[in-house]
Amino acid sequence: MLLYEKVADEIHSAIQDGIYELGDKLPGIRSYAKQRHISVSTAIAAYHALEDQGIIESVNKSGFYVRPQPRKVIELPQVSSKVSQPKAVGSQQMTLQLVNNASKPGIIGLGAAVPDKSFLPIRLMSRYLTKVHKHHLDAVISYDKPAGLMPLRQQVAKRMVAQGCQLLAEDIVITNGCQEAVYLALRSCTQPGDIVAVESPTYYGLLQILESLNLKALEIPTDPLTGISIAALELALEQWPIKACVVVASFGNPLGACLTEEKKQQLVELANDKNLMLIEDDVYGELSHQALRPTLLKSYDLHDKVIYCSSFSKTLSPGVRVGWVASHGKSQRLEYLKYVLNFSSANPGQLAIAQILESGQYDRYLRQVRQQYANATQRLINTLFQLFPSGTRITQPKGGFVIWLELPQKIDTVILANQLLDHNISIAPGSMFTNSQKFSNCIRLSAACKWNRDVELALVKMAEMIARLSVEKADSPLPAAI
Ligand SMILES: Cc1ncc(COP(=O)(O)O)c(C=O)c1O
């Protein structure tokens, strides 16, 4: 974190603690810089960062004030009302284009949900990876069990037990990221042609897995605040033989929704009643913007109906590719499937992460980065709110770092995404998050980018293009389906 960001965080905390109340004037920039022994330019950068986030405002050259309240209420995107039919998944190739575009040199990547390096504990990872290569070369170059290295499985199990799950280290299978965990989980409980219920909109990586396993997706309406509709799922279970339901219960992608405790309990009860397997994808659960993470769906699971999947990709490092899948009843099947797929995951990352978890440094890092994600998300939301046309609806996630926007209905965001690419800006259009031609006026943006002038200009450009597309399509009689 840069010094000005640290200073901005401290001022923000002082506001949250009531030291400065809403409407209060903040100290002048020079006197604040003097008082804190920082340069005037650092103080200016900190004040401007808080202004960008909508926390303070500058008033007629008389100084900076704690902003009394948001000028307008930010409206949430609407819940998709269309309950789709189960459908074979296709046309997922376009997602590869997004991933490749996001890593092109010079691109301002706002589409992919990949944390910029400034959010990752690079020095910590580098220290432990070096240590592992130096002191555990034997383990680094050897095969180990398909289920993964025991020290890591023990550390992961310990954390899950602390979250109220009934699990042993033997119930954990280490995977190449959460994507592989979800893939194995689905393979363990479905056959080609089966129906799988998914959130709507849902993470496109899940649609790719369904496509590759020849499974049918049934999209269940999902609320941007409280997640998947249990009532709609219940109704769907009466109509179709649904085998499994994949849910991101804490800070879903792309909506950022979080199921209430009551809903988590209801969902697990429903799974028990209807013999439905729940696959919990918890890749963002640790990135709560508050001090504590939400409970796991798995912690309510007394009858082995939840297969839990997660990874360290959004916290420690996406490139190390370490994730896991956890289930008591299915652990042997999962281990076998992992073995058939690619024998086992690479050892260096597993060893390094096991040691980081054991050292306690993971939790220390999480405490710091949660605030960083909270600030980045709020800053992006406030900036979008200021720049984008009225009528734009924006999610307000309480964790993770992705934001979902619903633009005026006439905007086709695939066209927008292609036009933006010509300006080296990448976004994820809403149609990537569905198998049913919905969300054509929506986009997902990532707040975990390195915030700088280029990003600000990219958002200004995006706002200009949206305004232009609104005018160009003003006469179009076709409403986009939501
Ligand atoms: C909801 C969700 N699940 C799974 C993944 C894949 O995670 P990993 O990189 O650990 O495979 C992602 C990545 O963006 C995600 O958003």
Kindly state whether residues 251 and 348 are assigned to the same domain.
Answer: yes
Structure tokens at 331: 């652990």
pLDDT of residue 275: 97
Instruction: Decide whether any atom of ligand 1 lies within 6 Å of the 408 Cβ.
Output: no
CATH number at residue 314: 3.40.640.10
Fill in the DSSP letter of residue 151.
H
Give the position, in ligand 1's atom list, of the atom nearest the Cα of 323: 10
Domain count along the chain: 2
Ligand 1 binding pocket mutation candidate from 247, 253, 283, 322 (most atoms within 8 A of CB): 283
Sheet bearing 442-446, strands edge to edge: 393-394, 402-406, 442-446, 428-429
Could you tell me the distance, in angstroms and rounded to a whole number, from the CA of residue 428 to the centre of ligand 1? Answer: 15
Closest-CA residue, ligand 1 atom 1, reads 253
Q: Are 418 and 101 in contact (CB under 8 A)?
A: no
- In a domain, residue 376? The reply is no
pLDDT of residue 477: 46
- In a domain, residue 189? The reply is yes
Q: Are 244 and 276 in contact (CB under 8 A)?
A: yes
Kindly state whether residues 44 and 128 are assigned to the same domain.
Answer: no
Give the position, in ligand 1's atom list, of the atom nearest the Cα of 318: 9
Q: Are 45 and 87 in contact (CB under 8 A)?
A: no
Give the position, in ligand 1's atom list, of the atom nearest the Cα of 311: 10
3-state secondary structure 222-233: EECCCEECHHHH
Kindly state whether residues 239 and 351 are assigned to the same domain.
Answer: yes
Instruction: Decide whether any atom of ligand 1 lies within 6 Å of the 179 Cβ.
Output: yes
Report residues of the chain scoring pLDDT below 50.
475, 477-482
The residue assigned the tokens 């992006």 is 380
pLDDT of residue 478: 42
Kindly state whether residues 292 and 218 are assigned to the same domain.
Answer: yes
Could you tell me the distance, in angstroms and rounded to a whole number, from the CA of residue 178 to the centre of ligand 1? Answer: 5
- In a domain, residue 433? The reply is no
Q: Are 210 and 183 in contact (CB under 8 A)?
A: no
Kindly state whether residues 32 and 150 are assigned to the same domain.
Answer: no
Residue 148: CB atoms within 10 Å = 25
Kindly state whether residues 56 and 137 are assigned to the same domain.
Answer: no
pLDDT of residue 471: 80
Closest-CA residue, ligand 1 atom 7, reads 178
Nearest-CA neighbor of 111 among 436, 422, 420, 457? Answer: 420
CATH number at residue 58: 1.10.10.10
Total residue length of the chain:
482
Domain boundary among 344, 362, 380: 362
Could you tell me the distance, in angstroms and rounded to a whole number, from the CA of residue 256 to the centre of ligand 1? Answer: 13
Instruction: Decide whether any atom of ligand 1 lies within 6 Å of the 188 Cβ.
Output: no
Instruction: Decide whether any atom of ligand 1 lies within 6 Å of the 178 Cβ.
Output: yes
Ligand 1 binding pocket mutation candidate from 96, 174, 179, 180 (most atoms within 8 A of CB): 179
Structure tokens at 85: 């039919």
Rounded distance between C-alpha atoms, residue 77 and residue 411, angstroms:
15
User: What 3-state class would DSSP assign to 55?
Assistant: coil
pLDDT of residue 479: 37
Rounded distance between C-alpha atoms, residue 210 and residue 345, angstroms:
22
- In a domain, residue 148? The reply is yes
Kindly state whether residues 33 and 141 are assigned to the same domain.
Answer: no
- In a domain, residue 142? The reply is yes
Kindly state whether residues 310 and 172 are assigned to the same domain.
Answer: yes
Could you tell me the distance, in angstroms and rounded to a whole number, from the CA of residue 206 to the centre of ligand 1? Answer: 9
pLDDT of residue 480: 37
Helix axes 3-16, 40-52, angle to 10 degrees: 60
What are 17-32's pLDDT values in tens digits?
Answer: 778 888 889 999 999 9
Ligand 1 binding pocket mutation candidate from 253, 279, 322, 350 (most atoms within 8 A of CB): 253
Rounded distance between C-alpha atoms, residue 475 and residue 197, angstroms:
37
Instruction: Decide whether any atom of ligand 1 lies within 6 Å of the 376 Cβ.
Output: no
pLDDT of residue 390: 85
Structure tokens at 325: 């899948």
Residue range(s) defining the domain that contains residue 58: 3-66
Domain boundary among 25, 51, 66: 66
Fill in the DSSP letter of residue 4.
H
- Examine residue 201 and say whether the peptide bond preceding it is cis (omega within 30 degrees of 0): yes
Rounded distance between C-alpha atoms, residue 77 and residue 388, angstroms:
14
Rounded distance between C-alpha atoms, residue 364 and residue 56, angstroms:
29
Instruction: Decide whether any atom of ligand 1 lies within 6 Å of the 250 Cβ.
Output: no
